[in-house]
Structure 1
Amino acid sequence: MLGKVTSLDDYHGFTMSATSVSDNSLTKTVAAKVPFCDLCLTIEKIQKAKSRPDKNKYFKDFLNSWRNFHNTLHKNDLNTTDSFYAALRLILPQLERERMAYGIKETMLAKLYIDVLGLPKDGKDALKLLNYRAPTSSHGEAGDFAVIAYFVLKQRCPNKGTLTVHDINQHLDSIALNNAAKRKDLIKKSLLQLICQSSALEQKWLIRMILKDMKLGISQQTIFQLFHADAAELHSVTTDLEKVCRQLHDPTVSLSDVSIMMFSPFRPMLAAIANIKHIEKLMHNQSFYLETKLDGERIQLHKDGDVYKYFSRNGFDYSQQFGASSLQGSLTPFIHNTFKSTLQNCILDGEMMAYNPITQAFMQKGNKFDIKRMVDDSELQTCFCVFDVLMVNKQKLANEPLRKRHETLQTVFTSVPGRIQIVEKVEIKTKKDVADALNVAIDQREEGIMLKDPLGVYKPDKRGEGWLKIKPEYVDGLMDELDILIVGGYFGKGHRGGMVSHFLCAVAEPASPGEKPSRFHSLCRVGSGYTMKELYDLGLKLANHWKPYRKRDPPPNILCGTEKPEVYIEPCNSVILQVKAAEIVGSDMYKTCCTLRFPRIEKIRDDKDWYDCMTLHDLDQLHNKASGKLASKHVDLNDEEPDKKKRKVPAKTKKLFGIAEQFKAQDLSHVDKVSSIFEDVEFCVLNGLHDHPKAELEMGIAECGGLVVQNPGPDTYCVIVGTINVRVKNLVAANEHDVVKADWLLECLQKKHFIPWQPQYMIHMSPSTEEHFAQEYDCYGDSYYADIDKSHLQEVFKRMSKPEQNLPSKTIADLEQRYSWDISPLSMFRHCIIYIDFYARIGDSSTQIHGTSLDVRILELRFHGAQCVTNLNESVSHVVVGKDLQHVSELKSRRTAFKRKFKIVLESWITDSIKAGSLQDERNYLL
């Protein structure tokens, strides 16, 4: 058995007793002897670590412990294997999509936990699990199901589980197999065993593994590098994590040749997005190849004699669908005889397309068909369009230039239109040629064009190293854009947890002339294209208008298809989004019976009212305009005048001015990104705290994907301040930016989660933020909606105890009026601030009070809501005078110096009002 780990801080590696070695009944692997909780403790430490070196250290310590543990076991049993694959596939579950395909999502897990734990379906914990993305989720982790489940399970599970890493792998493999066989009852049984034998912490990480979303803040490339120097390269050409662990188990042995191999899927080379203006420079001012960009499925074909293997770009095996031999599949029988007789084996890279033999045209992927599941009776047929060759007769070609590979490709097979054909390459040289080709692609309703360097070699899993792509949507001004209205929303996950991050958009049903539309038809769901700052600002604008969407009682003015939002918003409270997309395609998920392909937000149309959005008629016209394609305009390079030489103006000699080191911005280009909670959000850090200086705060922002500027501008989300100084006071006086305490930033960095602002974090609020806070919090900073803990309640009490923040009588009066309490006679003087004329002479404090009747009046006034003061100042509304009127002239003389004129009334105004039970007309008592 392994040594017991009592806490996260106690864990330093594996230990072993003598009995564990002699137990031959156990599976002879390290994984069979390593408790799953040890792995969970390690990855918990990796996630919580703030710095990259610490994260690397924790992983390396675990890896070294694994290897050392094997050496100890190996001395006693030479058959014990040390493969780290059992652990690495759990740490990087996203790389095992085919082997670890569970068909399980958060909702299924939530229902299972509710069933296993016997939770009341309407109970607090059950609702937490089911509504894990709602912003009301506890612990500030909305959108993170694993964390929500952890807190629900914490008091219901053992402190330590009994399963090993080997056991976990067996259970997960069983779930994957049963998912493929569609045996849901057996899936549930395996999950039950995992739940019953695991601690809450183990189940948190088990959930992340099942969902393939680990949130470790460390990249797979870094983990590969720590495991072995050749691991990343070997994985890119094999996509086989088990093979990587098996071949590179010894860190001291390097691979001499890491190359593409027969029947081993590799990560294909990819193209980068390019700007037409820079094409000539990117291609080194040499000629280059132009290809049509095909809209199909990227597939690689491995052929050895009569054996065929087809792999997707992610390494999935589709040989059964397309044909593992010449006698089966939707493609292989039709292309087997096209290969030259001299060919023994080859590896081809290309695009699998659907071909319509009647129209003799390729179908676009946006149409309703799946090329990977083409049936025999379909009117479409499978066609493999080949654009590269990586091996011929065991000769590896990846390191040969593309020009030679293309020449070799001509000798591999004979093209058969509609079945297998070589993608045509045209050699061009100028950006005008590129623009003309893109215009032709637009006219022919194609996806775009590809540009390739003829001298470039093939680099698996690399993007843009000699391969470029241009689509119409990448070029400004070519796409028709749609102004559609937000009608629904979906809560986000991860760094967008707790906020509505995706939107259901709709078009209006045409209204009668002169009237505003009253019904809206859902069109698409969109959740990309915005910056995080734009999302935060839009969230503030719409926050108070979202309502829960109930499927049994949907809003009558918002018509949906099968796609329903989690929350909805009344159209009159919503905003219009300008959306760009590739095309309009058919879909039964939305009320319009169509949707947008690859939609993304271009901008928020604050200049348009909600009723000015696109209508169904506008959508139909656009759909019919180019068979759904939204690119209808042409590239025009005439305004650039590429052949016109510009006169060079000699640069003026400028004086160089130095900047003191303390005012220079630090270089953050080397900072590794570990989180996306501040993705594209701009901050200005004016100064830091004693324990957390400015440079440390800026580095933390950069690690979380944020941007740092030294002076706040119009795009700055907020200003971070540790110490208030003159510069901070000037920013506050300008009233343009939100000024936030550094404590807020530190808490976000610590929790790796974006924490909404609360009053205790704010030094100053811009007008828009102040308006939002007024709707969320009272004048003491106490939320109208959120639960409060002990520390926050103490802060509220401290603010209430300050004399200058005592609730004014006017506020109480407003409350009384709002709730109709002002009809009570006890509130008749609530709006009055009254000064009693006590003294025989104004300002003579030594003179005695006239009599005791005015003392009684003070008590009566206070009892009936008035505020009585002892100093005559601008706030006084009334001065009450007793029977002695000799000081009235002096009071009137004093009143002339006041901007706000008080009224001088007789004492009887008070007594008569109290007697009548209502405030009497003061004009009858004025002096």
Structure 2
Amino acid sequence: MSKKPRSSEAEDEERRQYAVGGTTLKELDAEYPYRPKNHSRTWLFSELYQSLFDPLNENKKKPTGPNVHRAKLGPHGSSKISPHEQRRSIIEQFFSRWRTEVGNDIYPAMRLIIPSQDRDRNVYGLKENAIGKLFVKILKIDRNSEDGKALLRWKDPGQRISSMAGDFSGRCHEVISRRPMRMDPGNMTIADVNEMLDKLSAASGEKEQLPILESFYHQMNADELMWLIRIILKQMKVGATEKTFLNLWHADGDTLFNVSSNLRRVCWQLHSPDIDLNGRQSQIELFQIFQPQLAQFQFSGTFQKMVDVLTRSHRTETDNDFWIEEKLDGERMQMHMQRDDTVRGGMRFAYWSRQAKNYTYLYGNGFFDEKSSLTRHLRDAFLPEVNSIILDGEMVTWDMDIDKIMNFGTLKTAALAAQKNPFDQTGPRPLYRVFDILYLNGNDLRQYMLRNRRQALEKAVNGVHRRLELHPHETATSPEVIEPALRTVVANASEGLVLKDPRSVYTLNSRNDDWIKVKPEYMDDLGENVDVVVIGGYYGSGHRGGRLSSFLCGLRPTRNDIQAGVNPETCFSFCKVGGGFKGEDYQQILEMTEGKWHDWDRKNPPSQYVVLGGGEAKQAERPDKWIRPSESFVISVKAASATTSDQFAKLITLRFPRFKGLRLDRTWDSALDYDEFVTLRKRMEEATEGKTMKMEKKRARASKRVKKEVVIAGQDKVAAAAMFEGPRSHVFANLEFCVLSDATQPRKSKTQIEALIKDHGGKISQRAVADGKMILVADKKVVKVASLIKAGEADIVRPKWVFDCLGEGNNFVLPYEPAHLLHATDRLRDWAGENVDEFGDSYARNLSAKEFKDLLMDMPKKEIDYEPFDKQLFVTQLEERGHDLGNLKCHLFRRSVVFFAVGESISPIRVLKFKNWVRFGGGIISEDLDDISVTHVVVVGTDGPSERELSAEVRATISKRTPIPRVVTQLWLEECWKESTLLDEERYAPA
């Protein structure tokens, strides 16, 4: 790439952009010595959305699939590419132009392209409602006008702009486009926008925010403002992920971001494609926030299927256990600690959340931090040999008075209270529950198996009671133990469980099958139906925009409430229900309640009819509309359990409530009141406890497995902590070797190999012991080697492993690869196979030129068969980013395994149509009713006795199964298909 002289405009932009907060460019260069400098000023902001955002948005609207092509590239216009490839091409062309026309510093543009990953800019403190209020003032429009309501009540259907209901930036665009200051794009550059956004993030309150947004309004047209609002809200939705942008800028972009969470560092350190990220730079570092591993969402099917998926990658016949942990209702947190003699107390701490927010100010940077709510109590938490450590865990609130975990929403309040009264032994306090260790005394432990990391964790951390504790886990070999464990945590109002594979390594910023969530909403037989009266409604967004899509339900007053003077028609907010409704339910509700809904007036709430949580000052869970209970209707709701919550009037609510049906046979005054709910809740808890005891008895009859401790290679079980004593100065420190033969390639004698190992801290023994601790090295099957192999469980490592550990750019202990093993047990060989790809390329080191040539020569001379598209993972990623897939037929039955019970006179064509619906909706067809993974049995028969007989036969077959599949008629499939949502099965059970 040709170098261009820097323009004065580029230098001026650099000073304005980067010398903020008192930082000079000289100080910035010292911190980032590799920082690139653009030769030209940044593009106009309009170029960003015209060349990148708009094309990506258009591409997002195109259908995708293996046979779909939408663009032609190449000199002759003959090479067709798919929308996915076109999306990559759009981004690559944008980056290529930037490098040519602006320079190698992409950071100014990247922090606007993926604003959610920009940690250098403070939060704006602006959400949709606040931005709407500011633009009402900037545009000088009446808040009660149609446009004023469109901005302030953007979810409401309105009149002229109903098509944009639920899309805030779209509504802003339509309102602003009717009164713009500019028709054409403005002259603000990307650097100008960044400078103004820095000021906006530093602004405090509406008084300072208003003139900044007003300045944007005067300098931008409606299109620019729409994208600016999306950047402020960090809701870009352009059809490409952060990972895509980072990796298309540089092949190692996502890798470096995962270990650093620093967008600036990624853009500057990897400013050229010619720069390679060495092994050390891809490791996690102290006081450098990384992206943690996440648990996979639970999928459909039985617990047995879940366990099979969890352990399929690493299990053997003798090693097939898995771990069960309680999923805590707290905030994911990583703790970094380093011994530092320059700090009072000798230890320095830092805390970061999953979203890379620094919480050190809340929990404390040392033992003598006056604002510490936690760290001051951790003097004895670590062994003296621990000099540096990074822990991964969950920060929760522990109530010392009742000795249990409190809800997540109480965490910050408890931490602030602990800052003021640090030695109070009562009430709520922050508790750090640790479940993993990633770094110890200068060593990145991610490549060790989970069980090995746990051993290191237990040997390095003492813990402090109710301050810092190791999160317990249960080791299991059978899926039967999952259900009683889930029932136990549900009874304790916990979030659920996490299943983990103890043989798995830690993968940054990944959601894979090594950790799987199990939540109670997936279990049909947990919880009970309740009949509650609707007292409020909320407008939806997206495809549900413009209508009331979820409802606030209430509890009637008790007899004691009425005797105390409460209006008998007053209802107390109880739960919010939004799932399970179909189109005809919404239509029926609309017809029943037409003209009865009222706008909620926060200044004059209808307290004589509706009481919200937090009183009139807070008005928690405030609805958009309210309705008098006597004019309302009753619905049946099912939930997993009940839990406490200060967001509702009676300080109690339902967990995971779902609409079951309209109760047209009940009047509002026959719905549930608080006393009746307390009685019902007690019955639910007793039923859950009974089922748990039954499962525990069944489990007790099963054979017990003795947990066998796995020791990290080279460690002594009693003194394993010695491996981590102080910073390592040599690669093979504390490892014992026995060299049994010469090396053949390269040729080195036994004595030369021993000298090499000693030079790098290893210990040499002349007596070979196949105990799993000593590393046996040989390249030939000499007599001693043959004798060890014949004796049984000996693992013989080739000298090549020693040479590779000390190779250029490595100098650390590498995981074994198949090429490193002369002879090994099946377990070690399987594990070594996981450290290379299908062609033998190492994941942990760079190959030599000869190795790379040999690898290419051995590759099959055919087109590579890539892994099939992971539909479930793709759907999960979409749902994580806020996409509502509820109305997409192709995802309708994705958690269902369906068996069809078909009558004799039924046309095969008709049944095939139903099966195709299920398959298109992502479901699985089972041909065996005894298949334990079946979740639904669809009875396809003629009305009358034949259908009843068929249903009775099915129920008799499945009656003893746990859990029992849902039995429904074909009408359930037809209605689900028609409404594009999964409907309540009870309404379609055969007679």
Q: 1:435 & 1:24 partners in 2: Cα distance? A: 64
Q: 2:444 & 2:293 partners in 1: Cα distance? A: 16
Q: 1:134 & 1:630 partners in 2: Cα distance? A: 43
Cross-structure match for 2:218: 196
Equivalence map 1:862-901=2 (5 Å): none
Please tell me whether residue 458 in structure 1 is matched to residue 506 in structure 2: yes
- Judging changes above 3 Å, is the alpha-carbon distance between structure 1 residues 390 and 606 closer, same or farther for their aligned structure 2 residues? same
Q: 1:554 aligns with which of 606, 614, 626?
A: 606
Q: Which amino acid aligns with 2:586?
A: G
Please tell me whether residue 57 in structure 1 is matched to residue 66 in structure 2: no
Please tell me whether residue 567 in structure 1 is matched to residue 599 in structure 2: no
Q: 2:38 & 2:870 partners in 1: Cα distance? A: 44
State the SS of the aligned residue for 1:353: strand
Deviation string, structure 1 residues 362-416 (Cα, Å, up to 9, x no partner):
4443668645534332633333222211111101101101121111112223222
Q: 2:264 & 2:198 partners in 1: Cα distance? A: 14
Shift of 1:311: 0.7
Q: 1:345 & 1:549 partners in 2: Cα distance? A: 57
Q: Is the 8 A contact 1:161 1:198 kept in 2?
A: yes
Equivalence map 1:389-468=2 (5 Å): 389-441=437-489, 446-468=494-516
Give the % identical residues.
25
- Judging changes above 3 Å, is the alpha-carbon distance between structure 1 residues 618 and 487 closer, same or farther for their aligned structure 2 residues? same
Cross-structure match for 1:601: 658
Cross-structure match for 2:266: 244
Q: 2:57 & 2:893 partners in 1: Cα distance? A: 17
Q: 2:355 & 2:510 partners in 1: Cα distance? A: 14
Equivalence map 1:684-763=2 (5 Å): 711=913
State the SS of the aligned residue for 1:411: helix
Q: Is the 8 A contact 2:534 2:554 kept in 1?
A: yes
Deviation string, structure 1 residues 659-705 (Cα, Å, up to 9, x no partner):
xxxxxxxx99699778988824365xxxxxxxxxxxxxx99x999xx
Shift of 1:89: 2.0
Q: Is the 8 A contact 1:581 1:630 kept in 2?
A: no
Cross-structure match for 2:635: 576
Cross-structure match for 2:571: 521
Q: 2:294 & 2:252 partners in 1: Cα distance? A: 21
Q: 1:84 & 1:630 partners in 2: Cα distance? A: 60
Deviation string, structure 1 residues 761-801 (Cα, Å, up to 9, x no partner):
xxxx99xx99xxxxxxxxxxxxxxxxxxxxxxxxxxxxxxx
Shift of 1:502: 2.6
Deviation string, structure 1 residues 884-906 (Cα, Å, up to 9, x no partner):
xxxxxxxxxxxxxxxxxxxxxxx
Q: 2:654 & 2:393 partners in 1: Cα distance? A: 23
State the SS of the aligned residue for 1:410: helix
Q: 1:278 & 1:619 partners in 2: Cα distance? A: 36
Cross-structure match for 2:751: none
Deviation string, structure 1 residues 281-316 (Cα, Å, up to 9, x no partner):
233471223334333322111111122111111111
Equivalence map 1:211-610=2 (5 Å): 211-257=233-279, 258-273=282-297, 275-278=302-305, 280-281=307-308, 282-283=310-311, 284=315, 286-305=320-339, 306-328=347-369, 329-365=372-408, 370-375=413-418, 376-377=420-421, 379=426, 380-441=428-489, 446-509=494-557, 519-524=569-574, 526=576, 528-530=578-580, 534-544=581-591, 545=593, 547-551=597-601, 552=604, 554=606, 556-561=608-613, 562-563=619-620, 564-569=622-627, 571=629, 572-587=631-646, 589-590=647-648, 592-596=649-653, 598-605=655-662, 609-610=666-667
State the SS of the aligned residue for 2:460: coil
Please tell me whether residue 142 in structure 1 is matched to residue 152 in structure 2: no
Q: 1:476 & 1:506 partners in 2: Cα distance? A: 24
Q: Is the 8 A contact 1:235 1:241 kept in 2?
A: yes
Q: 1:670 & 1:445 partners in 2: Cα distance? A: 28
Q: 1:584 & 1:98 partners in 2: Cα distance? A: 38
Please tell me whether residue 679 in structure 1 is matched to residue 706 in structure 2: no
Q: Which amino acid aligns with 1:567?
A: K
Cross-structure match for 1:792: none
Q: 2:489 & 2:41 partners in 1: Cα distance? A: 57
Please tell me whether residue 67 in structure 1 is matched to residue 99 in structure 2: yes
Measured on the aligned residues, the alpha-carbon RMSD in Å equals 4.3
Q: Which amino acid aligns with 1:603?
A: K
Q: Which amino acid aligns with 1:174?
A: K
Unaligned regions of 5+ residues in structure 1, if any?
Answer: 1-15, 72-81, 645-666, 684-697, 704-708, 720-764, 771-927
Q: Which amino acid aligns with 2:305?
A: H
Cross-structure match for 1:616: 674
Shift of 1:320: 1.1
Q: 2:873 & 2:651 partners in 1: Cα distance? A: 44
- Judging changes above 3 Å, is the alpha-carbon distance between structure 1 residues 45 and 369 closer, same or farther for their aligned structure 2 residues? closer
Shift of 1:440: 4.5
Q: 2:4 & 2:259 partners in 1: Cα distance? A: 41
Q: Is the 8 A contact 1:31 1:87 kept in 2?
A: no
Q: 2:326 & 2:874 partners in 1: Cα distance? A: 37
Q: 2:578 & 2:133 partners in 1: Cα distance? A: 30
TM-score (norm 1): 0.62
Shift of 1:277: 3.6
* Structure 1, 617-626 or 84-93: larger mean CA deviation: 617-626
Q: Is the 8 A contact 1:26 1:32 kept in 2?
A: yes
- Judging changes above 3 Å, is the alpha-carbon distance between structure 1 residues 486 and 32 closer, same or farther for their aligned structure 2 residues? farther
Shift of 1:633: 5.7
Q: 1:555 & 1:323 partners in 2: Cα distance? A: 43
- Judging changes above 3 Å, is the alpha-carbon distance between structure 1 residues 31 and 300 closer, same or farther for their aligned structure 2 residues? farther
* Structure 1, 53-62 or 184-193: larger mean CA deviation: 53-62
Q: Is the 8 A contact 2:261 2:290 kept in 1?
A: yes
Cross-structure match for 1:208: 230
Q: Is the 8 A contact 2:332 2:395 kept in 1?
A: yes
TM-score (norm 2): 0.58
State the SS of the aligned residue for 2:661: strand
Q: 1:177 aligns with which of 202, 208, 212?
A: 202
Q: 2:527 & 2:587 partners in 1: Cα distance? A: 30
Please tell me whether residue 156 in structure 1 is matched to residue 180 in structure 2: yes
Cross-structure match for 2:960: none
- Judging changes above 3 Å, is the alpha-carbon distance between structure 1 residues 221 and 25 closer, same or farther for their aligned structure 2 residues? closer
Q: Is the 8 A contact 1:318 1:372 kept in 2?
A: no
Q: 1:85 & 1:105 partners in 2: Cα distance? A: 25
Q: 1:668 & 1:297 partners in 2: Cα distance? A: 29
Q: 1:584 & 1:678 partners in 2: Cα distance? A: 26
Q: 2:56 aligns with which of 41, 46, 50?
A: 46
Q: Which amino acid aligns with 1:618?
A: E
Please tell me whether residue 105 in structure 1 is matched to residue 127 in structure 2: yes
Which one has a bigger Cα radius of gyration? 1
